[in-house]
Amino acid sequence: MDETRIIQAEDDDMKDAVREAVALLEGGDIVALPTETVYGLGADAFNPEAVAKVFEAKERPSFDPLIVHISHARQLEEVAVVPPEIEETVRKLISAYWPGPLTLVLPKTDRIPDLVTSGQPTVAVRQSAHRVFRGIGKQLGRPIAAPSANRFGRISPTSASAVMKELGGRIPLIVDAGACRDGLESTIIRIEPGEKKPVIHVLRPGPVTKKELQNFGRVIVEKKRLIDAPEAPGQLASHYAPRTPLLMFERPDDFHPEAGKRYGLLSYKEDPKAGYLHRHEWAVVEALSPGSGKLAEAAVRLFHVMRVLDEAGLDAIVAEPVSETGLGQAIMDRLRRASTP
């Protein structure tokens, strides 16, 4: 493929963008689409040849499954089977968080190709809240398989320009609807019956937090990283990584810079009390939430800031930790998996 086009999907241009994207998807091609979390690389989820193009463009290993996006809750039965013992919990969660950044792992139907689920008997499914993505899905009339629109293992894109840097020349079209609202990939959960209340396993932390999920059952945040056969996207030990080595330390004093190397600081809010800001003469400092320390702002800016630092010509990036409360748990999850072992 020689050229990747970008089409705007704002206001008057939205109908044209939806029409072009749907035409490509119906023809078995792939398109980069905006969601409220990050930009996704979409294909008709029922078309295994189209799905194979997603894996090829991303250089994604076939053992890492994709999320399937539905355009309305009624479409769920086309892609997944809801076991009766968890049906009430699934219904409550859908009512509370769909459309939105919550992905459910459920037994798959026969309509979903094995390539989408990497041979697993379950499928990860969600309903996006983004009006452009939903408009494309509704007009297509079929679910869309869409992982993040970046090279495998790299920083997730939160803008059309970031997608172009990652996949330019590999895909035919990017639908540009501006920056993503949430900036972090969806929370992924699996539900199982419990003795007194259902058990909710968090397979990937995200915008829907552990505290929120505790209203629906007993929550267990999975710590194990599955390498050989992940049951859901985002479970690999190394992911979301910049090309520049990203370093994390238990304490600021554990950082010992090497002479002659240029280091950048990925700071939470540029607070000297954190101990990192004055630890070194940083070549570049980028803050996730400058001055205010708001986790919601930090989540939105995380991948953007990582990309800015990655393009700054540094020898290494040092990431300052954030508090692991609420969204901070998802932010730290991404930073740990982006860090150099």
Binding site for L-threonine: what residues are annotated? 37, 69, 122, 126, 146, 186
Residues making up the binding site for ATP:
60, 148, 156, 204, 240
Burial class (CB in 10 A: 0-12, 13-18, 19+), 130: buried
Residues making up the binding site:
37, 60, 69, 122, 126, 146, 148, 156, 186, 204, 240
Closest by Cα among 27, 1, 338 to 167: 1
Q: For the chain, how big is the Rg over CA atoms in Å?
A: 20
Count CA atoms closer than 13 A to 263's CA, side-chain side: 23
Burial class (CB in 10 A: 0-12, 13-18, 19+), 114: middle
